[in-house]
Structure 1
């Protein structure tokens, strides 16, 4: 059976006081390329978890001292381990037992004796799901830095000509200081919607939209789509953003808060700056180079008044 990529580095911790069962599971997962560690009781399990957080935990229900349900609750209530997938292992077949495991915070439940192929499939499924969840921004649901990096690397490897749009809000920090992070989050979600909408309407089928973090976004499209996407985003942003301000601030055209030197300062309503990096006229060999060029172009864009988009036209 073909192995799924990236399982070689996945760390699995098996917690079971049945040493024969431990050997069976360890042998099965080792053969599939997983890195496997084991523990037979609560203390050894917690020591290993906190020494090196596993990517997934297989947890038996019947254990000395604390049972699997209690351990599962502890792990779910600890910020260091709350994100780790947990599959409960047990010989109990009653529905009530399965419900108890799921209510304790388990992600899945496998009854002994089990088919090793099913066990491997479930482990892979939860590892894949956990990786996907970590790869998406929780606020906007857009792909985050891991997937952004992979997408740029893939475009470079394919040798395709593309344009990367880096979007950044101007005066967003001042807005957050005055209106609070909840209102700031609404602005972030609005920008995510705006970017997604315009790339879908004016871009290509395979175009990419991602959320770097905070008020920084990215899109990857073709050279011929850049102008229409940017112009449409700027037009819709400028015509809508004032609605996120109070009537008084809209009327004045600015907000008042303190700057980095603690001086009371007037900040204009938010605008949007878009920096475009392309390999149309220059050779780009890494995602790091894309980021470096984008940082330069964003600085240039933010030096201009109002919402703008700027292109890197250099050929080297």
Structure 2
């Protein structure tokens, strides 16, 4: 596991306690170093302080969740502030648990064991959607890469989902995720029955694998069906107004537009991939590109090698 804290005393204390409990522990002094270490060798668990310069614990968690290669890494937020806002923000961006400093060692170890146990259970199947989880997703992509057969990888997530959760609560957010999962399954059943795969990385992140010839149609159909359904997720007043208002991290009221979906596509139709991480990186790049324009959209990588 990886401990991330800019306070060397706290970092060393955590390292000693966790090592004494039988865990292999690495230490990062800040969020930037943590990202480098995770990219080199992803741990099962990251325990990160919140208040750090440059890349804080919240941003580190976001970065881990946004990358399919690290989305399965469990995260415990370590904070000196027992504030509900910190806890809620941590959960909203994908943290698995939190610990308030100064921590009690037995509680720390109990939370670590609990998070690791839940993580193991979730990797084969998402408890929220029932779709294949992170381990099966990676196995599917690796099998496609190894086979040499053509395929397209679609990486999808929602825009403004954190604001939606903050405004309406996690229960409403979970309903959106569950409906999106069903929508994706229905689209695959309608367009490519028996020749496709969909998995749930966690949060609002999904991965689909389809024949390259069907990728554009699948992405476009998911976008259309989600946009048709999206207004129904909002209360009437918010729907008519066209935005919701929530507190941002600076404690200021900020307006957010309705939920949209972004999909990035990597395809073997014009290029070959040698590794799971390579195809994921291209799909992630395309997804991030779509987020530069407003509204739901998708983009496919058309570069050749």
Per the normalisation by structure 2, the TM-score is 0.60
Identify if the C-alpha distance between structure 1 residues 156 and 82 changes in structure 2 by more than 3 Å, giving closer, same or farther: same
Check 1:162–1:177 CA distance in 2 against 1; reply closer, same or farther (3 A cut).
same
Q: Where do 1:138-177 residues align within 5 Å?
A: 138-177=127-166
**Which of the numbers 286, 296, 299 marks the counterpart of 2:285?**
296
Q: Distance in 1 between matches of 2:260 and 2:285?
A: 18
Q: Which residue of 2 aligns with 1:212?
A: 201
Q: For the pair shown, which has the larger CA radius of gyration, 1 or 2?
A: 1
List per-residue Cα deviations over 1:216-267 (Å, max 9, x = no partner): 0010000111122122211111111111110000000110112333332110
Larger RCO (CA within 8 A; separation ≥ 6): 2
Are 1:234 and 2:223 an aligned pair?
yes
| Bigger mean CA offset, 149-158 vs 227-236 | 227-236
Contact 1:256 1:267 in 2 (8 A): yes
> How far apart, in 2, do the equivalents of 1:79 and 1:266 lie?
36
**For 1:295 and 1:227, how far apart are their aligned partners in 2?**
16
Counterpart mapping for 1:2-151 below 5 A: 51=22, 134-151=123-140
CA distance in 1, matches of 2:301, 2:116: 42
Match status 1:287 vs 2:276: yes
- Please give the per-residue CA displacement for 1:74-107, whole angstroms capped at 9, x wherever unaligned: xxxx77778999xxxxxxxxxxxxxxxxxxxxxx
- Once the two structures are TM-superposed, the CA of residue 294 in structure 1 deviates from its matched residue by 1.8
Q: Which runs of 5+ in 2 are unaligned?
A: 1-20, 24-109
Name the SS for the 1:168 alignment partner: strand
Which position in structure 1 is the counterpart of 2:39? none
Take 1:222 and 1:264, find their aligned partners in 2: how far apart are those partners? 44
Which residue of structure 1 lines up, in the alignment, with residue 259 of structure 2? 270
* SS of match in other structure, 1:154: helix
Which of these residues, 181, 186, 189, is aligned with residue 192 of structure 1?
181
Matched position secondary structure for 1:198: helix
Which residue of 2 is the match for residue 307 of structure 1? 296
- Structure 1 segments unaligned to the other structure (5+ residues): 1-49, 53-77, 86-129
Shift, 1:131, TM fit:
7.5
> 2:170 corresponds to which residue?
181
Q: Distance in 1 between matches of 2:121 and 2:145?
A: 22
Alpha carbons 1:136, 1:143 under 8 Å: kept: yes
2:213 paired with 1:224: yes
- In structure 2, relative to structure 1, the CA distance for the partners of 1:134 and 1:170 (3 Å cut) is closer
Match in the other structure for 1:254: 243
Decide whether the 8 Å contact of 1:204 with 1:221 is kept in 2: no
Q: Distance in 1 between matches of 2:251 and 2:282?
A: 32
Structure 1 residue 304: Cα displacement: 1.1
CA shift for structure 1 position 314: 1.0
Looking at structure 2, the residues matched to 287 and 176 of structure 1 have their Cα atoms a distance apart, in angstroms, of 31
Q: Is the 8 A contact 2:128 2:178 kept in 1?
A: yes
User: Equivalent residue of 1:139, what SS?
Assistant: coil
TM-score, scaled to structure 1: 0.58
Residue correspondences, number:
200
Root-mean-square deviation (CA, aligned residues, Å) is 2.5
Conservation of the 8 A alpha-carbon contact between 1:176 and 1:184:
yes
Matched-pair contact (CA < 8 Å) for 2:185–2:198: yes
